[in-house]
Amino acid sequence: MLNLHIVWIPKYRRSILNGYQDEMKDILKSIAQKKQWEILAVEVMPDHVHLFVSVPPTIAPCEVVKAFKGQSGRQFLINHPEFTDERYDNSLWAPSYFVASAGEVSSETIKAYIEGQYD
């Protein structure tokens, strides 16, 4: 398996996810379940998302990011049409992201970092 630590932000790094963290976590978990990927850790902050996911090594990291960002943004905007205006141009997420692969040794460190975001 390939373990990926992915971080992305809403457009303009606005804190629009404040109050919607649990909903976004549920959306991300639903995407992972449909794809048969395992979420090792997830934390949704008001202005960014940390996701640590395990996928088969045959899937490119950019495809994993595309699936999570595309489907989660689309689902969130369907649920909350008040965010579909000229500021967001029907796209919730900024185009950039961070992704890094992790071996088994550093997986626990990354998981602890993500889970400690509110500490």
Catalytic sites, residue numbers: 113
SS3 116: coil
Query: Could you tell me the two tokens for 48?
Result: 């960014």
Exposure of 28 by Cβ count < 10 A (0-12 exposed, 13-18 middle, 19+ buried)?
A: buried
Tell me 43's DSSP state.
Answer: E
In sequence order, what are the residues at sequence separation of 6 or more whose Cβ sits closer than 8 angstroms to the Cβ of residue 11?
87, 88, 89, 91, 92, 93, 94
